[in-house]
Structure 1
Amino acid sequence: MKKNILVTGSKGQLGSELKELASDYPDHEFFFTSREDLDICNKKALKEFVTSNQIETIVNCAAYTAVDKAESEPKLADEINHLAVKSLAEISVEKNLRLIHISTDYVFNGKGFRPYPTDHPTDPLNVYGNTKLAGEKALITVNPKNSMIIRTSWVYSSFGNNFVKTMLRLGKERKELNVICDQVGAPTYARDLARFILSRGLKVKTNQVAVYHFSNEGVCSWYDFAREIMADAGLECEVNPIQTTAYPTLAKRPYYSLMDKSRITTELNYNIPNWKDSLKICIQKLKETSVRLNS
């Protein structure tokens, strides 16, 4: 009998990758929803959807991710990133569901110098990070069994808007670009995270909410990331390093957000690809998609 899985935020980068990979898992029946189909801020509608479709697992990819805009829309960010997660957790306990919730490296303050373990003290710098942390805490307090929080960072994909696509566009339009060099972390190819969720995340069993960190292996700055994008795409745009102070934003960003992934790589014995390898795959996919669209 197929297992029914609800994926919220299905039009986002991770949700789109999950949708594309879903056919590889014929023993699961997926229900992909966006805000137009199912508003996760509406607890009554959520509960009715879960009940009527006999959902067994929820993968919550929905989030308010506009980091700078969140500074002026804290209430909306809190409704989506915190209160809706609390509702999902409460429904999961009531219905005995598994809940996989996607969170962020922005729960840390970026003042460290070693990869953050999952139990490292949190200290967000901005509204986005604070609302995501509030969602984590609500989920842990309600504590549905067999559920997990996956913190990730610097997500990109062939779907949606992201740093890779922005760099590719600007790299074709300009001869040179200035990119921040003093913020360090690790990119995450959403397809790699989607594969982990489908192949391993859906099977993890715990008596309480477990926290995991997932990003691609390796480390880089945004400057390093941009240079690699240009090289892989064969673009001659020169990338110049600048410091964060030269590019002020409404929301503060952590300077260091590399996360310790040993709970996945060691405890779950799962191999995570290097960021450079995954970037090449994504850029090649974007090239092939462009060719198909223009042919």
Structure 2
Amino acid sequence: MIKSRKLKKILITGANGQLGSEIREIAISTTQYEWDFTDYQELDLCDLNHLEKKVAEINPQIIINCAAHTAVDKAETEVELSDVLNHQSIAIMAKWSNANDCKLIHISTDYVFDGNSAIALTETAQTNPINVYGVTKLAGEKACLEQNPNAIIIRTSWVYSSFGNNFVKTMSRLMQERDSLNVVNDQVGSPTYAADLAKAIMTIMEHKNWQSGIYNFSNEGEISWYDFALAIQEIGGFDCEVGGIPASNYPTPAKRPAYSLLDKSKIKNSFGVAVPEYKESLRKCMDLLRIKTN
């Protein structure tokens, strides 16, 4: 009798977040893997003393770490929590994955940059975070590659989805509630539809050559948050006046990079990852949101 081949097990952390939820959608129709979706209830990344043991019990062949302390403003006062989630837990998972022949994909952020660039940022651009969130995420990147040089890190930016709370949902709601609103117009980058990032991760996992290192992923387009809001207004058909204001008129506890557009050439060339234009993806997401709310 021929024994059935055991399916490769994939551990997803932060499974209830935007990206984790989008990967779960893909997993429904991707049956060649055994999926283990965990959030803090099943795998508490803050429990550093037992994290390695818990991961060992799951014993995955691939870890996709979507978990993070992403509350950028709260991180300014929740420094220890941010460091545990964004840095120390990553070091433990990276060390375990390296020792157990487990592939690791870790999600990072454009906030590792200071925003002073005038051109799209490549993976080798100088990092210099300007807030606690960025500092802890950069520390997580370094720990990840130190403990597991074979890991893949994906930096992304301005993530939104039909799941969770995000800029697209907030703007869509406010534009229906208000006659006018103002949006920051001097912070430039590109949004990322989490469903596109989830597809990119699948492309990398299934590529014949695993090429470790840091990669950038966001949708195509160079826009400000104000431009993004205008696109949401246009696609949603919302009758709301949208004005642009400088970030200095909208002070927040954490500073944001003024410019964090990511160059996606490396991920395209290395893995053949498709990078859709931002309006195309925004339209798909807003169509889904209409279906979900009707």
- TM (norm. structure 1) is 0.95
SS for the counterpart of 2:60 is: coil
Residue 253 (structure 1) aligned with residue 253 (structure 2)? no
Cα displacement (A) at 1:268: 2.0
Cα displacement (A) at 1:25: 1.5
Cα displacement (A) at 1:143: 2.2
Residue 178 (structure 1) aligned with residue 187 (structure 2)? no
Q: Which of 186, 196, 199 lines up with 2:200 in the alignment? A: 196
Residue 137 (structure 1) aligned with residue 142 (structure 2)? yes
Go from structure 1 to structure 2 and tell me whether the alpha carbon gap of 1:101 and 1:202 turns closer, same or farther (over 3 Å shift).
farther
Q: Tell me how many residue pairs correspond in the alignment.
A: 289
| Runs of 5+ unmatched residues, structure 1 | none
CA distance in 2, matches of 1:154, 1:218: 12
Go from structure 1 to structure 2 and tell me whether the alpha carbon gap of 1:178 and 1:213 turns closer, same or farther (over 3 Å shift).
same
Cα displacement (A) at 1:206: 4.6
Map of 1:167 onto structure 2: 171
Q: Which of 5, 10, 15 lines up with 2:20 in the alignment? A: 15
SS for the counterpart of 1:137 is: helix
Residue 86 (structure 1) aligned with residue 91 (structure 2)? yes
* RMSD of equivalent CA atoms: 1.4
Write the letter of the residue equivalent to 2:203.
S
Map of 2:3 onto structure 1: none
Alignment of structure 1 residues 21-170 onto 2, 5 Å: 21-43=26-48, 45-145=50-150, 147-170=151-174
Write the letter of the residue equivalent to 2:172.
L
Cα displacement (A) at 1:161: 0.4
What per-residue deviation string (whole Å, max 9, x for no partner) do you get for residues 11-52 of structure 1?
Answer: 100001001110222101110000011112334543333333
Map of 1:265 onto structure 2: 268
Cα displacement (A) at 1:53: 3.1
CA distance in 2, matches of 1:288, 1:196: 25
Cα displacement (A) at 1:93: 1.3
SS for the counterpart of 2:96 is: helix
| Runs of 5+ unmatched residues, structure 2 | 1-5
SS for the counterpart of 2:221 is: coil
Map of 1:234 onto structure 2: 237
CA distance in 1, matches of 2:218, 2:27: 21
Q: Is the 8 A contact 2:203 2:273 kept in 1?
A: no
CA distance in 1, matches of 2:205, 2:22: 15
Map of 1:286 onto structure 2: 289
SS for the counterpart of 1:200 is: helix
- TM (norm. structure 2) is 0.95
Write the letter of the residue equivalent to 2:218.
S
Select between 87-96 and 46-55 the one with higher mean Cα deviation.
Answer: 46-55
CA distance in 2, matches of 1:43, 1:72: 21
Write the letter of the residue equivalent to 1:171.
M
CA distance in 2, matches of 1:54, 1:74: 30
Go from structure 1 to structure 2 and tell me whether the alpha carbon gap of 1:127 and 1:204 turns closer, same or farther (over 3 Å shift).
farther
Cα displacement (A) at 1:107: 0.2
Go from structure 1 to structure 2 and tell me whether the alpha carbon gap of 1:10 and 1:45 turns closer, same or farther (over 3 Å shift).
same
SS for the counterpart of 2:116 is: coil
Write the letter of the residue equivalent to 2:179.
K
Write the letter of the residue equivalent to 1:183.
Q
Q: Is the 8 A contact 2:55 2:93 kept in 1?
A: no
Cα displacement (A) at 1:276: 0.3
What per-residue deviation string (whole Å, max 9, x for no partner) do you get for residues 202-235 of structure 1?
Answer: 546457x410000001111000000110111110
